[in-house]
């Protein structure tokens, strides 16, 4: 596929070369994120239901396609609405000087208030994830652990929320801007949001899963961005991480098909530079090797009789990760 190159005219219509506009490395590049100190895991009141990997220490729920009865779907809607509300509440607190640890505390309180368990807390068996959200700053592609590093003006931070309530998990994330942002980094964030929504809009019953990647990868490439290949979306519902694996990059042999009633996530990560990364010593944080910024958005979606519905929205149908109505209103030429 054709990827926008440095000497091409920028995708934004400025008339400038890409490398002097949204692809300007001198503007995009920032120092590698220094990991800070991680505090003790937060407590969850005993009356809140735990997922199996916490209560019995292993995953006992089915890891196949998460297709729901009408009654299960109602519970799934609750988990997804709670996740969207926790994401909005936490995102509203993003500001220069705020630590990701403080964001974790705000999110934790928001889950508990709603009777939900933070799905990431003590997830991962022996790796035991210690926090209630993931916070991935700048060149951290995903799974950043909230710590005592204050956010700085011009940073971007992905906040990833998963709520477990009524026996169901709902998973959503958005990348938030810290204070005023340069236009190049802003372009990455806006493009990633649009790419996510375009991928979701391509879902329809009977169609192959590759429709999502076909909607995301060429669109990202047309703006000079790469899509991280190794991390995909996943089935979600009774089980946090279930089938199918959702590729955001076009993958030969990706022939499974969407079925009405399935729920899964769409969550592409876009990078401005190289898309190779390595894991930090904490066993979780995935850092891009070039420290250029990356962004990610995520929704849990439902395959309907005729198309797709985003489940991770608040009670008024809104989300910081955007909606299909937003996509219709804002779609830009690819």
Closest CB to Zn ion among residues 12, 98: 12
Least distance between Zn ion and beta carbon 223 (Å) = 9
Closest CB to Zn ion among residues 22, 77: 22
Least distance between Zn ion and beta carbon 334 (Å) = 15
Least distance between Zn ion and beta carbon 327 (Å) = 21
User: What does the binding site for Zn ion look like in residue numbers (CB under 5 A)?
Assistant: 10, 12, 14, 21-22
Closest CB to Zn ion among residues 22, 143: 22
Least distance between Zn ion and beta carbon 19 (Å) = 10
Closest CB to Zn ion among residues 12, 59: 12
* Helix residue ranges, H only, 11-157: 25-28, 52-55, 70-91, 100-113
Closest CB to Zn ion among residues 12, 95: 12
Closest CB to Zn ion among residues 10, 116: 10
CA distances to 25, 216, 217 from 21, rounded to whole Å, are 9, 22, 21
- State the DSSP H helix or E strand holding residue 287, giving kind and residue range, or none if neither: strand 286-288
Least distance between Zn ion and beta carbon 197 (Å) = 20
CA angle 181, 212, 189 (to 5 degrees): 0
CA angle 136, 292, 12 (to 5 degrees): 105
CA distances to 4, 106, 211, 230, 304 from 119, rounded to whole Å, are 38, 15, 29, 22, 26
Least distance between Zn ion and beta carbon 259 (Å) = 40
Least distance between Zn ion and beta carbon 16 (Å) = 6
CA distances to 56, 141, 204, 282 from 127, rounded to whole Å, are 16, 19, 36, 9
The answer to whether residues 248 and 199 touch, using CB atoms and an 8 Å cutoff, is: yes
Beta bridge partners of residue 165, listed in sequence order = 168
Closest CB to Zn ion among residues 21, 156: 21
The answer to whether residues 178 and 151 touch, using CB atoms and an 8 Å cutoff, is: yes
Distance CA 232, CA 239 (A): 16
Surface-to-core class of residue 154, CB atoms within 10 Å of its CB (0-12 exposed, 13-18 middle, 19+ buried): middle
């Amino acid at each position: 596929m054709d990827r926008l190159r440095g000497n091409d005219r920028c995708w934004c219509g400025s008339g400038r070369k890409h490398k002097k506009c949204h692809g300007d490395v001198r503007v995009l590049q920032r120092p590698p994120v220094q990991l800070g100190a991680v505090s003790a895991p937060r407590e969850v009141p005993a009356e809140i239901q735990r997922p199996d990997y916490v209560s019995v220490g292993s995953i006992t729920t089915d890891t196949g396609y998460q297709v729901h009865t009408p009654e299960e779907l109602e519970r799934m809607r609750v988990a997804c609405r709670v996740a969207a509300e926790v994401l909005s509440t936490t995102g509203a607190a993003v500001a220069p000087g705020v630590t990701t640890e403080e964001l974790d505390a705000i999110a934790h309180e928001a889950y508990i208030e709603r009777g939900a368990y933070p799905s990431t807390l003590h997830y991962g068996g022996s790796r035991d994830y210690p926090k209630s959200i993931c916070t991935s700053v700048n060149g951290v592609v995903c799974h950043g652990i909230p710590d005592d590093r204050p956010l700085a003006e011009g940073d971007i931070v992905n906040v990833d929320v998963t709520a477990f309530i009524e026996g169901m998990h709902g998973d959503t994330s958005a990348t938030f801007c810290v204070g005023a942002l340069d236009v190049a980094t802003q372009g990455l964030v806006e493009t990633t949001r649009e790419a996510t929504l375009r991928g979701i809009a391509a879902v329809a019953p009977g169609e192959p899963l590759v429709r999502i990647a076909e909607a995301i990868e060429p669109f990202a490439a047309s703006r000079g961005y790469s899509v991280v290949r190794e991390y995909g979306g996943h089935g979600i519902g009774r089980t946090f991480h279930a089938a199918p694996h959702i590729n955001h990059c076009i993958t030969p042999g990706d022939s499974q098909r969407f079925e009405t009633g399935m729920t899964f996530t769409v969550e592409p990560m876009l990078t401005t530079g190289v898309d190779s990364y390595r894991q930090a010593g904490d066993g979780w944080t995935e850092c891009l090797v070039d420290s250029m910024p990356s962004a990610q958005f995520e929704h849990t979606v439902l395959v309907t009789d005729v198309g797709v519905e985003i489940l991770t929205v608040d009670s008024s149908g809104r989300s910081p990760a955007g909606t299909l109505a937003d996509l219709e209103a804002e779609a830009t030429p690819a």
